[in-house]
Amino acid sequence: MVLGGLECGGTKMVCAIGDENGRIIEKQTIPTEKPEITMPLIINYFKAYPIMAMGVASFGPIDLQRKSPTYGHITSSTKVHWRNFDLLGELKKEFDIPFGFDTDVNGAILGEVTYGSMKGILNGVYMTVGTGIGIGVYSNGALVHGMLHPEGGHVPVKRHPEDTFYGNCVYHGDCLEGMASGSALNERLGIAPEKVGMDNPVWKYESFYLAQAIIGYILTLSPEKIVLGGGVMNRRELFPMIRAEVERLMGGYLHTYQLDHIEDYIIPSSLGGDQGVMGCMKLAYDAAVSS
Amino acid sequence: MVLGGLECGGTKMVCAIGDENGRIIEKQTIPTEKPEITMPLIINYFKAYPIMAMGVASFGPIDLQRKSPTYGHITSSTKVHWRNFDLLGELKKEFDIPFGFDTDVNGAILGEVTYGSMKGILNGVYMTVGTGIGIGVYSNGALVHGMLHPEGGHVPVKRHPEDTFYGNCVYHGDCLEGMASGSALNERLGIAPEKVGMDNPVWKYESFYLAQAIIGYILTLSPEKIVLGGGVMNRRELFPMIRAEVERLMGGYLHTYQLDHIEDYIIPSSLGGDQGVMGCMKLAYDAAVSS
């Protein structure tokens, strides 16, 4: 089955052709500019292939309520050109095929659960720590939507006692995203975080905030596995620091096989950055078989 | 169908006879003492009825992994006499019928979802604020178990800047339960919280902590409804205070129909204290039909 996958990010759009086994046959990246510039490039890319269905996973917030008049729209995004943009509608005008549609982070966890290191589990969390922070949630064997969709990047966190940064979330100031996103790191450091050594106290704060959020996810969702992705997590030294903070903050309260093997519980993605677009293949496949 | 329901709490055991429509025909409360005293009373109660299946919802932590050698046991409870007690095994010795087994808070949300104000939803949270704090979680149309089961009473919370109480959780000090449970209220006030007027600042702190936890649940689980139960929530003046704090802390970040109608979103139980034992009837029914 020839399937199309479109992962919409704030800086780039990843377009891919693949199949129901998650194999990516062809992939192209298009910069995210205004819709008038970017959408024709996306449409041209996919027109060259005989795709039977397409999966779209987008930055948000997006409208996922199928009965809503704005289903498939990007809604209150901070990216002004894309605010209230009918993303799914514009694609449907060009392609008379079944479409799957979800958040970028739900796409990523779907990739992990279907083809990656979360295969076989029924409950998991994918957390991306990039420019912003987001979570995709899989519970009882399905993606979680609920009232809207999870927005776990904005959970409240206790401040580190030595940390004087104000927090740059425009809504909450010092919520998780305001303290620990890539954008917060840039703002607190004044230079790109990649240029800062591990001896800088910023990484101690970063681990403290991310671990707090992870503790919250564990105690609320009881996930069987947690995958951390996004640009900030390319700094692999953070993984052991975060795991140690999770153990410290948990204070021995829960005893499980997974927490006793925390290096296999809180892990990087196994799909090398393709988890999102591979999740799109699964969204496309599910749309094809249910249509 | 004649069904038995047993809701096991730290201070009392509620035994009930009912049917698959959630109707309670007969109910009796037995104090929770040592198992040697309490268990024979429970067994005698149920022996008098021709029950076809039994649902048990218990305080915990409990082992819910069906393949585990200690499935059905109370595990690391702070109630020493019940620690490592084979609750389900002792009942199964006496009654050769199908059994359903889950946490007390999962029992309560199952009651709400099946017979109460959460009927028809696929994603919800039940939070009990009593001696301790616990959550039952319903996601994608089923109770959440996952790695263990949700233990959302112990999520980290930011301290209120005017609050000097140290927090009495033996594991975490000032986590949610350490700051806002009935036991924390007793300890910080030195008298029963029922005797303290609404002008006491303790209620401002209480709303602040509970609202933070609720924000975390909303952003992580995207529930369609949140029911608050337990002894502390009998103080009904807390509901408008908690709702106002949730709105303030959310900072206008999410816009949904439910948040715009918050008085119908964060609500007391509609089942008048019977939600737990009614959930047990559903556990019993599900066990009967799947056996």
Q: Are B212 and B204 in contact (CB under 8 A)?
A: no
C-alpha dihedral sign at A14, A19, A21, A23: negative
- Same domain as B168, residue B35: no
- Same domain as B199, residue B85: no
Structure tokens at A236: 């692999």
Total domains in chain B come to 2
- Same domain as A142, residue A127: yes
C-alpha distances in angstroms, B240 versus A86, B180, B192, B208? 37, 17, 22, 12
Nearest to A213 by CA among A170, A253, A174: A174
Nearest to A45 by CA among A72, A19, A17: A17
- Same domain as A66, residue A121: no
Taking the CA of residue A103 and the nearest CA in chain B, the distance in Å comes to 13
In a domain, A194, yes or no: yes
Residues recorded for chain A? 291
Taking the CA of residue B46 and the nearest CA in chain A, the distance in Å comes to 33
- Same domain as B133, residue B248: yes
Average pLDDT for B90-105: 97
b/e A87-96 (16+ beta carbons within 10 angstroms → b): bbeebeeeee
Q: What is the distance between the alpha carbons of residues A167 and A190, in angstroms, rounded to a whole number?
A: 14
Assign B27 a pLDDT band (cuts: 50, 70, 90). Answer: very high
The predicted-structure confidence for A85-113, as pLDDT tens digits, reads as follows 999 999 999 999 999 999 999 999 999 99
Write down the pLDDT at residue B204.
98
In a domain, A112, yes or no: no
The predicted-structure confidence for A243-260, as pLDDT tens digits, reads as follows 999 999 999 988 899 999
Q: What is the distance between the alpha carbons of residues A36 and A65, in angstroms, rounded to a whole number?
A: 25
Chain A residue with minimal CA distance to B248?
Answer: A172
Q: What is the distance between the alpha carbons of residues B99 and B88, in angstroms, rounded to a whole number?
A: 8
- Same domain as B137, residue B88: no
Query: What percent of chain A clears pLDDT 70, i.e. is strictly above it?
Result: 100
In a domain, B112, yes or no: no
Write down the pLDDT at residue A60.
82
C-alpha distances in angstroms, A247 versus A69, A203, A240, A287, B72? 45, 17, 11, 40, 27
Contacts of A137 in chain B (CB under 8 A): 220-221
CA A117 to chain centre: 16
Write down the pLDDT at residue A75.
86
3 state DSSP class of A237: coil
Q: What is the distance between the alpha carbons of residues B84 and A129, in angstroms, rounded to a whole number?
A: 40
Q: What is the distance between the alpha carbons of residues B140 and B80, in angstroms, rounded to a whole number?
A: 36
In a domain, A143, yes or no: yes
Asked whether residue B255 carries a pLDDT value surpassing 90, the answer given is no
Nearest to B61 by CA among B157, B153, B125: B153
Q: What is the distance between the alpha carbons of residues B246 and B267, in angstroms, rounded to a whole number?
A: 13
Nearest to A106 by CA among A149, A154, A63: A149
Mean pLDDT over each residue of chain B, to the nearest integer: 96
Q: Are B119 and B22 in contact (CB under 8 A)?
A: no
| Cβ distance of A158 and B154 shorter than 8 Å | no
C-alpha distances in angstroms, A167 versus A171, A188, B264? 10, 9, 32
| Cβ distance of A152 and B219 shorter than 8 Å | yes
In a domain, A205, yes or no: yes
Q: What is the distance between the alpha carbons of residues B217 and A154, in angstroms, rounded to a whole number?
A: 11
- Same domain as A176, residue A251: yes
Chain A residue with minimal CA distance to B265?
Answer: A147
Mutation site for B-interface testing, chosen from A219, A253, A261, A262 by largest number of B Cβ within 10 Å: A219
Assign B73 a pLDDT band (cuts: 50, 70, 90). Answer: very high
Chain A residue with minimal CA distance to B250?
Answer: A172
Q: What is the distance between the alpha carbons of residues B206 and B196, in angstroms, rounded to a whole number?
A: 13
The neighbour count for residue A136, using CB atoms within 10 Å, is 32
- Same domain as A129, residue A257: yes
The predicted-structure confidence for B205-237, as pLDDT tens digits, reads as follows 999 999 999 999 999 999 999 999 999 999 999
| Residues spanned by the domain of B32 | 3-107+273-290
- Same domain as B255, residue B192: yes
User: What is the H or E stretch that residue A25 is in?
Assistant: strand A24-31
Asked whether residue B166 carries a pLDDT value surpassing 90, the answer given is yes
- Same domain as A214, residue A92: no
Which domain CATH number covers A286? 3.30.420.40
Q: What is the pTM of this model?
A: 0.96
- Same domain as A154, residue A252: yes
In the numeric block, the tokens 């425009």 are attached to A170
Window from A90-99, A198-207, B61-70 with minimum mean pLDDT = B61-70
